[in-house]
């Protein structure tokens, strides 16, 4: 039977895509969702900036398209090239603009018209895309503030708004904390008229808010977990946009992120020393030994707790740091991998010097060590203050490592508390404080001390399915809904 999704053409316009450029979960999603969509029959492609270093990462294997794009901005035209490459079967187009350089760090430290200009041009390139590729998508799937201006331009731009009938837009909010706010409100030289600067537009407390523009202008909005989709409509988690999100909640839907099960696979992962699955978990012990030796330790039977993630307030560092001494006091070993705020980095390194036998800290981004930690760890700590979806807990479960998480956002949607259900996969706590966190760790350690129970929890983790198979279908159905199918044959789908 032919796939109902076969005619749909989607262009993901994004600032990150694993493994070409990744800063966090957005990069993982753009690196795996288009692939899953293609398996459903959707013609899903990606438009990404050509960041410094990307060409090396693909060993120069990209073809320059013969036709140039011309991007109009500030009373001039920026010529640009698209480089076409293939990432695991997904066509990817890398945008190379004359006189404009994208930062190797992906995001600028400070947002202003200068630093945001490259992302604005990326948005314009989406609308010029078909001229260089002869391929015209039905839907622009945009991600967070850097590409929100695709939808905003189709609504307000002096020229591009004339194309609004041709495209539908889906905006995925990966993290509401980053909104793309700049001081300037006069974007006339970018083609955005001053009428767009009001409460029903880009204006935000006398500044310009790109994400707000995207929320208002997009045809559909998704967030990366169902729970986060309603949390962001509350004052506590709405980051100043709860009112706007509440107003537009009829086009807001939560769709849980998946992970790429062929990449994150304890049976085949080339970055771990031993392979295992739900039928034979014994080799996980080898991974544990290897991880311990990497930290300079021996396997003395104590549980290994891991933390992998950005060292940011959002991730709950304010309750993790004051808990470390107590965690180590329980006889656990703790391994931390992350980078971020200097204050947290320094505090962790100081503690590491104090407890070298039980605390290991690696500051930096280290893909290989992360795999080793997921495979060799026993429990993952994720005490996030808020968490749109969270991928680390999904990866941990895939590797039979039980997550201990605060019940917020996607963490609450994906982890089942093992004390309240026989199919439990981890341990949840609600209150954002050290006592509640330590109580959850205490419950996890009590289960750890009962080998049969612990074994069941690990097997439960290995059995749950957070691959893209379910969620990519939800996106596909959303696209169909957007394109007006099956109610009537949509003219756009015929092109
Ligand atoms: P974020 O809020 O950063 O998007 P997620 O949990 O959604 O958090 O995704 C984090 C992803 O980045 C996971 O794949 C995790 O393994 C990876 N990651 C985070 N920090 C590091 C690091 N320092 N080294 C290696 N991988 C990391």
Ligand 1 centroid to Cα of residue 447, in Å, is 27
Choice from 224, 310, 311, 399 to test ligand 1 binding pocket (greatest atom count within 8 A of CB): 310
Does 246 have pLDDT greater than 60?
yes
Mutation choice for ligand 1 from 172, 370, 373, CB with most ligand atoms inside 8 A:
370
Residue from 25, 260, 345 whose mutation best tests the ligand 1 pocket (most atoms within 8 A of CB):
25
Q: What average pLDDT does the segment 265-278 reach?
A: 98
Query: What pLDDT, on the 0 to 100 scale, is given for residue 6?
Result: 87
Question: Can you tell me the mean pLDDT for 31-59?
Answer: 97
- Rounded to the nearest angstrom, the distance between the alpha carbon of 32 and the centre of ligand 1 is 15
Whether 458 has a pLDDT exceeding 80, the answer reads yes
Would you state the pLDDT for residue 162? 98
Q: Nearest Cα to 459, choosing from 239, 275, 282?
A: 282
Q: Are 336 and 362 in contact (CB under 8 A)?
A: yes
Pocket of ligand 1 (CB under 6 A): 24-25, 28, 308-310, 337-339, 365-367, 370, 389-392, 395
Pocket test for ligand 1, best of 309, 397, 411 (most atoms within 8 A of CB): 309
Q: Which atom of ligand 1 lies at the shortest distance from residue 389's CA? A: 7
**pLDDT of amino acid 488:** 47
Greater pLDDT, 487 or 274: 274
pLDDT of residue 487: 45
Q: Which two tokens stand for residue 360?
A: 């290991």
Compute, in angstroms, the gap from residue 23 CA to the centroid of ligand 1: 8
Is 60 exceeded by the pLDDT of residue 494?
no
Q: Whose C-alpha lies nearest to ligand 1, atom 19?
A: 309
Taking the centre of ligand 1 as the mean of its atom positions, its distance from the CA of residue 333, in whole angstroms, is: 21
Q: Which ligand 1 atom sits nearest the alpha carbon of residue 315?
A: 2
348-389 confidence digits (pLDDT tens): 999 999 999 999 999 999 999 999 999 999 999 999 999 999
Confidence check: pLDDT of 163 > 60: yes
Residue pLDDT, tens place only, 130-142 = 999 999 999 999 9
Q: Which tens digits make up the pLDDT trace of 202-236?
A: 999 999 999 999 999 999 999 999 999 999 999 99
User: With a threshold of 0.75, does the pTM exceed it?
Assistant: yes
| Mean pLDDT computed over 464-470 | 95
Tell the residue nearest (CA) to atom 26 of ligand 1: 367
Name the residue at shortest CA distance from atom 15 of ligand 1. Answer: 392
Paired tokens of 210: 């790109």
Largest CA distance in the chain: 70
pLDDT of residue 400: 98
For 287-310, write each residue's pLDDT tens digit: 999 999 999 999 999 999 999 999
Segment 72-129, tens digit of pLDDT: 999 999 999 999 999 999 999 999 999 999 999 999 999 999 999 999 999 999 999 9
Residue pLDDT, tens place only, 418-457:
999 999 999 999 999 999 999 999 999 999 999 999 999 9
Residues 393-410 have a mean pLDDT of: 98
Task: Give the tokens for residue 35.
Answer: 């692939």
pLDDT at residue 485 above 90? no
Q: Which atom of ligand 1 is nearest the CA belonging to 224?
A: 7
**What does the pLDDT read at residue 490?**
56
Find out whether 307 and 324 touch, Cβ atoms under 8 Å: no
pLDDT of residue 444: 98
Residue nearest to atom 12 of ligand 1 (CA): 24
**Among the listed ranges 8-12, 96-100, 259-263, which one has the minimum average pLDDT value?**
259-263
169 confidence band (pLDDT: 50, 70, 90): very high
Quote the ligand 1 centre to 90 CA distance (angstroms): 22
The CA 114 to ligand 1 mean position distance, Å, reads 28
Distance CA 249, CA 236 (A): 17
User: 3-state SS string over the chain?
Assistant: CCCCCCCCEEEEECCCECCCECCCHHHHHHHHHHHHHHHCCCEEEEEEECCCCHHHHCCCCCEECCCCEEEEECCEEEEEEEEEEEECCEEEEEEEECCCCCCCCCCCCCCCHHHHHHHHHHHHHHHHHHHHHCCCCCEEEEECHHHCHHHHHHHHCCCHHHHHHHCEEEEEECCCCCCCEECCCCCHHHCCCHHHCCCCCCEECCEEEHHHHHHHHCCEEEECCHHHHHHCCCCCCCCCCHHHHHHCHHHEEECCCCECCCCCCCCCCCCCCCCCECCECCCHHHHHHHHHHHCCCCCCCCCEEEEECCECHHHCHHHHHHHHHHHHHCCCEEEEEECECHHHHHHHHHHHHHCCCCEEEEECCCHHHHHHHHHHCCEEEECCCCCCCCCHHHHHHHCCCEEEEECCHHHHHHCCECCCCCCCCEEEECCCCHHHHHHHHHHHHHHHCCHHHHHHHHHHHHHCCCEHHHHHHHHHHHHHHHCCCCCCCCHHHHC
């Amino acid at each position: 039977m032919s796939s109902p999704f076969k005619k749909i053409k989607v262009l993901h316009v994004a600032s990150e895509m694993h493994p070409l450029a990744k800063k966090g979960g957005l990069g993982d999603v753009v690196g795996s969702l288009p692939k899953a969509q293609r398996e459903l029959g959707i013609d899903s492609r990606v438009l990404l900036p050509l960041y410094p270093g990307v060409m090396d990462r693909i060993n120069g294997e990209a073809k320059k398209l013969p036709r140039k794009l011309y991007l109009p901005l500030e009373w001039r035209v920026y010529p640009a090239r698209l480089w076409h490459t293939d990432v695991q079967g997904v066509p990817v187009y890398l945008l190379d603009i004359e006189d404009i350089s994208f930062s190797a760090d992906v995001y600028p430290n400070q947002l202003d018209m200068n630093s945001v200009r490259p992302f604005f041009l990326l948005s314009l390139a989406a609308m010029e895309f078909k001229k260089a590729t002869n391929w015209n998508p039905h839907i622009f799937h945009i991600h967070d503030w850097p590409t929100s201006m695709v939808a905003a331009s189709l609504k307000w731009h002096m020229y591009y708004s004339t194309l609004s009938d041709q495209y539908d837009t889906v905006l995925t909010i990966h993290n509401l904390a980053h909104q793309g706010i700049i001081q300037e409100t006069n974007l006339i030289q970018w083609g955005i008229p001053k009428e767009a600067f009001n409460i029903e537009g880009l204006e935000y407390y006398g500044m310009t808010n790109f994400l707000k523009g995207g929320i208002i202008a997009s045809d559909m909005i998704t967030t990366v977990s169902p729970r986060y989709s309603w949390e962001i409509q509350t004052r506590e988690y709405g980051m100043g946009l709860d009112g706007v999100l509440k107003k537009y909640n009829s086009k807001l839907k939560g769709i849980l992120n998946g992970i790429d099960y062929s990449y994150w696979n304890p049976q085949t992962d080339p970055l771990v020393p031993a392979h295992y699955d739900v039928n034979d978990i014994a080799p996980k012990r080898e991974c544990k030994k290897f991880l311990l030796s990497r930290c300079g330790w021996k396997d003395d039977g104590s549980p290994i707790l891991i933390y992998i993630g950005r060292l940011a307030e959002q991730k709950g560092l304010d309750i993790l740091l004051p808990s470390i001494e107590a965690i180590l006091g329980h006889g656990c070993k703790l391994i931390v991998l992350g980078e971020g705020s200097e204050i947290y980095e320094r505090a962790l390194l100081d503690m590491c010097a104090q407890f070298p036998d039980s605390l290991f800290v690696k500051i930096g981004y280290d893909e290989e060590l992360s795999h080793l930690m997921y495979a060799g760890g026993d429990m993952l700590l994720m005490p996030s203050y808020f968490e749109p979806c969270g991928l680390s807990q999904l990866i941990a479960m895939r590797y039979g490592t039980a997550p201990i998480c605060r019940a917020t956002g996607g963490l609450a949607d994906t982890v089942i508390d093992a004390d309240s259900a026989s199919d439990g996969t981890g341990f949840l706590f609600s209150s954002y404080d050290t006592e509640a966190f330590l109580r959850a760790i205490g419950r996890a350690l009590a289960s750890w001390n009962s080998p049969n129970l612990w074994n069941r929890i690990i097997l439960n983790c290995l059995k749950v399915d957070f691959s893209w198979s379910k969620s990519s279908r939800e996106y596909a159905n959303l696209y169909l809904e957007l394109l007006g199918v099956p109610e009537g044959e949509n003219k756009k789908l015929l092109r």
